Each structure stands twice: as structure tokens, then as C-alpha cells.
Amino acid sequence: MKKYFSKKSVIKAMLCFIAVSPVYHASAQTKSNDAKMNAFVAGLMSKMTLDEKIGQLNLVTMGRAITGSVVNKGVEEKIAKGEIGGVFGVYGTEYVSKIQDLAVKNSRLHIPLIFGLDVIHGHRTIFPIPLGVSATWDMGLIQQSAKIAAKEATAEGLNWVFSPMVDIARDARWGRISEGSGEDPWYGSQVAKAMVKGYQGASMMDADAVMACVKHFALYGGAEAGREYNTVDMSLIKMYQDYLPPYKAAVDAGAGSFMSSFNTINGMPATVNQWLLTDLLRKQWGFTGFVVSDYTAVNEVTNHGLGDLQTVSALALKAGLDMDMVGEGFLTTLKKSLKEGKVTQQEIDLACRRVLEAKYKLGLFNNPNKSIDPAREQKDVFTAENRKVAREVAEHSFVLLKNQAETLPLKKSGTIALVGPLADNHSEMLGTWVIAGDPNKSVSVMEGIKNVVGDNVKVLYAKGANFSDDSLLSIRAFALTGPEAKDKRSPQEMIDEAVETAKKADVVVAVVGESSNMSGESSSRSDINIPENQKELLKALAKTGKPLVIVLFNGRPLTLTWEDKHASAILDAWAPGTEAGNAIADVLFGNYNPAGKITATFPRSVGQIPIYYNHKNTGRPYSGQGPAKFKSDYLDISNDPLYPFGYGLSYTTFGYSDVKLSKTSLKGNETLKATVTLTNTGKVAGEEVVQLYISDPVASISRSVKELKNYQKVMLQPGESKEISFNVTTADLKFYNNQLVYDWEPGEFIVQIGTNSTDTHNASVQWNK
């Protein structure tokens, strides 16, 4: 390890990371604004006592929205004493106004509070879960969803959201894969930038803008065994190449704050990791905002074995953590640590300054109540316009995984058997990590079908199954929300009713999958099949011989080998949000032609995990053909995933020509133009996500077999053709070598363009320096 990652090589990588970043030249106006902020904050801090400075580092929850295992006590008294810098878990102008008044009117220096909340995929109007939103491959829609969330959140008094989550995840067992954008670092970076821009707008001082909080820094999606809060251990090359880019993209987009992760990195918990929070984030990347811990993460460092609360609180401050969420380790120990020489006044001042600067950037010193406007709360929240966008985003997020014999779209006539625990359900439409959304205002699938086709289609309903008959899974999954409201009939009685209903119909639409409680935080699963009782329902429905359409709700890639073999069609709807039923009906009946593409690989078996498209080759790769002995393979299944990264079907079909290159030999900083002709070979208009990948077959280290570098989303009418071109530069060829230098090397490159990461057309180019 020392041979390859010496201190000298890491410093070189640091300089290289800075060198390849966009150069930011501050305008005269920006410099003037910074000078005003610096003068204001310095003046305020000169009046603050030590206790008031430490108080700014304290973030508490008042318990309206509980997202952890601890709720703070005595909050109102502490606010008046200046011992709290921010509050989360509360929203609504009346409530927020009262709390802000405690700080502004009752504390000695009248310093306003910052109000945060877990606004993950919408505030009142709920969009699909982030993994679903990422499947749109539409940065405009993604940014718009964040902008609407910010507008609604600020209308209810908030100015800070704990989003976006940009953790790369390659393990579908991990519940929080639902909150991110999948497995690819380049694509994840595009989503990170779009979300930050959507939240923060042109200026965080605007009344409808919030400060983004990028999480979880860092590598949280690499948890061993896919188990929540577990250890992360990876090489530096893997970090820099595959996991860190989305965080860096968020910094470049101007994110105002970061949240530390629970896991260890190089043996040191992220919350007390100076290399991570200071050397990498601030010195290498130039981040100027503040860092908050995750929920009681400072306290939990004691469980990692680094000392008592006073010790780990001092370590966190020195590492570069600025705000302590809920645990109050900073509040209760830093004064003592200062007296004992374990922290310095300068370290406390620096953290305090960063928190105050965030409040200044949000305009809270000019107007502490800038987001407290009862009129906006009435006119900007859960509007028809916002719901229209939510419906559009949901439609664009759906991925058609199978469509045998053009089963979909359905006819707007005849009889449908609508079956499954999610078919006539409001509470499960919104998905995981929804704080302010009202499930009673969501559109169920049953309602959506009636809204879209009215009385033209006869709908026969049967529940068919509960979410799960596994008592352990049910108890743990529903621990936070209360027990599942189960049908009291036996599983067989429910199946029998569903089968009899199916026999009376022309087609069966089975709405099945995961409850929202089965993904998200603290929702890891070792078995990522559809719950067994629901699978038994599907098997019974398949035996009726009626066309079987599965509408899948899920917060992660699932293992769907039986479903893929026996269903007529599978539409992955993720957890679609407020407009779930309307959007699903739009797609089922052909009002919208699905164009979503998955951003996380679907395995055939949980035994293949971690599985991802941009893996390294091995010394003994198995091609899938010929003798397999002494090759890198499984005895019992294929190496290939069930559905590869970038996969998704349409109600039409698309044809790709061979790849045409503007040159086959280039030198230096020339630009290569790679072109394919895309043709809609089907009968209806449709969108296709044309994906560009590049392979580097010979390099100084083992490279990924391919890497996504760009894409275009294209709409074509039936029979229409269009040339799709990508400009490729040397920036697309760069990678981190064994000295952690980010550069490209001359040689052969394979340009691949296609409909997903597996099905591509390829062309070779020689590129010399």
C-alpha cells in the first residue's frame, strides 16, 4: 500500500484534483459581497460569548418529525439562552414563526435559527423516490423537481434541506439505494449538480430557495454486506474514480452544506475524519460551506472505540465538523475541552463562523422571517401546477422491463382484474423518507385508472395478498410506522378470490412489490425478491392463462427471474409519489410511452451482489461461451445481470446504425465526433436515451470494462431517423492511475453507443499524445 499511496502521491493527486476542476474567477460583485459578509460576521462574533459560539454549533430536533432514536429536551429554554443554532423536524409558518421569535426576540444577540428538514423527494407534493427520478435521464425535470420542493419547503418556513443524497451504491441489499441515483459516478454527478441548482436557485437569499445539504460524506453507499451503518473499506483509486465524483460535482455546483456519514473511512469514522472533512473537502475541493453531522453521529463515534463523548466531540471539531446534530456533544463538552487544551478557541471560532456565514448567505440576518409567509403557504404548496409536474416526472421515471407480444399499452375497453396489496392503497404511493407529504392526498392506482379511462374499462378488484406473511420482516419493516394493516383472511383465501377475479377479466394487472417501509434508512434486506406471499399470488394468477401485467413498486433493484419468465409485461414504477395512480394509468393505457432507463443493475440473484456494469476485468474473464472451468464465473447462474445498467424498453422500437467516427487517429487535444443514426422502427412516437460509453483496453492499471461518458434523450416519430453525435475529448479519457494522478494515456479506445450498457455498437480509435 505504501508503495503506491505514499504521502507524495496523495499530495500529487490533491493538486491534480484541483487542476482538473473548473477554475472559478470571483467577480467584483462577489468579492464585494464576501467582504460585507466577512465584516458582518466578524463584528457579530466579537460580541459573542464562548457559550453563544458553541450554541451555534448545536442542531436540535423538536420532535414533530422524528427521523432518529433521540429527541432533544428543553429546546425553548436553550434557544432563549443562545445555545441552539438550528432546528429541524418542524415546518409550517405558524410553528416556525414562534420558534424563530424565541431566538430573534428573546436571545441576547437576536441571532436567527436555521430550519432544516428531510425534504428528500418533495415536500408536500411528493415526487418519485430519487432512484426513480434518476431513471428519467432528464436533468431539466430533475432540477425542476428540486425547485418545486424548495418552493414548497420555504413556503412553510424552511430554509435548509437534507438533500441531495449522492452516494454511489452498487449493492441492492442496502435500503438507502432508494435515495440516490444508482451506480454510475458520471451520471450521479450530473444529478447532483441538477439537484443543488434546483434547491438553491440563482441565490440562496431568494425567498423560494433553500440551502442544499449534500450527503452522506462520504462513501456511505459502500457499506459492507449492504447493511446500514456498516463499515466501508476501499482502495483510494476506487474512492476517487468511482465514489467521490458526485460529491465533488455538488461542491462545484455551489452546495452550501455537507453532512458527514456514519461509516469509517481508512479506519476513521467520517465524522471525526480530518483527511475527509478538511484535507479533501476544503483544501482540495475548495468547499466554503459548513458540515453537519448525521443524527447523533458524534455520539456514535464512541461505539467505534475512539473515546468518550468529550474526546470524540473534540476530535470532530478538530477534523472540520461544524454542527452537531441532536447529540449535543459540542454543547456539553467543548467548553471543558477548551479549558483542558483539547481544542482551541480558533477551532471553535472557525466552526461558528461557518454556521453564521450560512445564515448570512440565506439572508436570515436581513430578514429572519423571509420564508415565513402565510400567504405563500396557501398559494405555493400542493398546487395543481406542482402536481402536474409530479405526474410528468413520475411518468418519465417508469421503466418498462418486459413487454411480451405488445401486451402494453392496454386497450381502453374491456375488463381488467386489478390485484395486489398496492392496487388500492394510498399510504404506500409516496415512498420512503416522506415527512410532510399527506398519503391521503395521493392518487391510488385504482383511482388513477378511473381518472384516465373512466367507465370505458370495467375494473374488478381483489387485494390478493398482504405485503408479507414473514413475521420478522413485517415487524421490523413497520417498526416506525406501526403494524401493517393486514387483511384478516388467510393467504389462500385471498389468493382464491384474486384468481376468481382474474378469470372474469381480459387481462390481470398485479400491483405488487415492496412497502415503502422495506427500503430507505435502516431497511437493508438479505433477500431482495418480491415477498414470498406476493410471489405465490403471482404464480396463481399466471396459471389462469390471462395476460399478466406486473406493476412493480420497489425502492431497490429486485431479483425478478421468475417474474421475467412468466409475466407478460413488467412496468417498474418505483414509488411514484403523490400522482402515482394517474401516472401509472397514463403509461398503462398509452397516454405516455415509457422511456425510463434503470440507473442501478438488477441482479439475477442476491449472490451476484455487488454487481455493476463498470466492473474491472479479471485475468480469467468468462465470455459466457465455451468451457467455464477455471474462469471467473458461477456454477449455477450466468454472470450477466437480469437487466443491465441503462436498460429500459419502449412501446416502440429503435434501430441503431454502426458508429461513424470523424477520425480513427487523433493526437493531443483534438476532438472526436462519434455518430450513429437512430431510427424509430416501431408504430408509435417514443423517446430513446442514447448512451455513450468508452473503453480503455490497455492502460497502466486495470480499467473498468467501460464507462458512461454522455447521453442524449431523443424523441422520434414512427419511421423517423436522426443522426446523434457526441463530441469526445481527452477529458473523457482520464482516470486515476496508481499514483492517483488524474490523466489520460495514449493508445486505443473503444467508443460504444447504444440503448444500454450491454447492447452497444462499437468503433475503435487510436489517440496519441
Evaluate the omega torsion of the peptide bond into residue 269 and state whether it is cis, within 30 degrees of 0.
no
Whether a cis peptide bond, with omega within 30° of 0, leads into 216 is: yes
- For 739, other C-beta atoms within 10 Å of its C-beta total 18
- Other residues' Cβ atoms within 10 Å of the Cβ of residue 146: 29
Class of residue 460 by CB neighbours under 10 A (exposed 0-12, middle 13-18, buried 19+): middle
Q: Please confirm, yes or no, whether 242 is among the known catalytic residues.
A: no
The closest of 237, 153, 149 to 195, measured between CA atoms, is 149
- As beta bridge partners, residue 462 has 419
What sign results for the dihedral spanned by CA atoms 387, 388, 390, 395?
positive
Question: Do 458 and 593 meet the contact criterion of CB atoms below 8 Å apart?
Answer: no
Across 544-632, the runs of DSSP E, i.e. the strands, are 548-553, 569-572
To which H or E segment does residue 500 belong?
Answer: helix 491-503
Distance CA 134, CA 513 (A): 20
Q: Is 658 helix (H, G, I), strand (E, B) or coil?
A: coil
- Report the alpha-carbon distance of residue 578 to residue 590 in Å, rounded: 20
For 643, which DSSP code?
B
Residue 692: count other Cβ atoms within 10 Å of its Cβ. Answer: 23
CB 425 within 8 A of CB 444: yes
Q: Is the separation of the CB atoms in 518 and 484 below 8 Å? A: no
DSSP calls for 395-421: HHH-EEEEEGGG-PSPPSSSEEEEEST
- Grid cell in block for residue 260: 458527514
Residue keyed to cell 430554509:
159
Q: Which residues contact 461 (CB under 8 A, 6 or more apart)?
A: 417, 418, 419, 423, 424, 446, 501
List the strands of the sheet with 507-513, edge to edge.
Answer: 399-403, 569-572, 548-553, 507-513, 415-419, 458-462
Answer whether 133's CB lies under 8 Å from 397's CB.
yes
Residue partners of 109: CB distance under 8 A and separation at least 6? 44, 47, 48, 52, 82
Residue 570 to residues 140, 416, 422, 457, Cα–Cα distance (Å): 27, 16, 15, 20
Pairing between strand 58-61 and 86-88?
parallel
On the CB side of 458, how many CA atoms lie within 13 Å of its CA?
A: 8
SS (H, E, C) 272-292: HCHHHHHHHHHHHCCCCCEEE
Distance CA 207, CA 646 (A): 38
From 177, 764, 757, select the one nearest 525 (Cα to Cα).
177
Residue 259 dihedral angles phi and psi, to the nearest 5°: -120, 130
Residues in CB range of 591: below 8 A, 6 or more apart? 452, 585
Q: Regarding beta strands 257-260 and 264-265, do their DSSP bridges make them parallel or antiparallel, or are they unpaired?
A: unpaired
The bridge status of strand 721-728 relative to strand 672-680 is antiparallel
Closest CA to 689 of 751, 589, 757: 757
290: phi then psi, degrees, rounded to nearest 5: -120, 160
The grid cell for 292 is 453537519
Catalytic residue among 118, 167, 294, 424: 294
User: What CA–CA distance (Å, rounded) separates 739 from 616?
Assistant: 18
Looking at the annotation, which residues are catalytic?
294
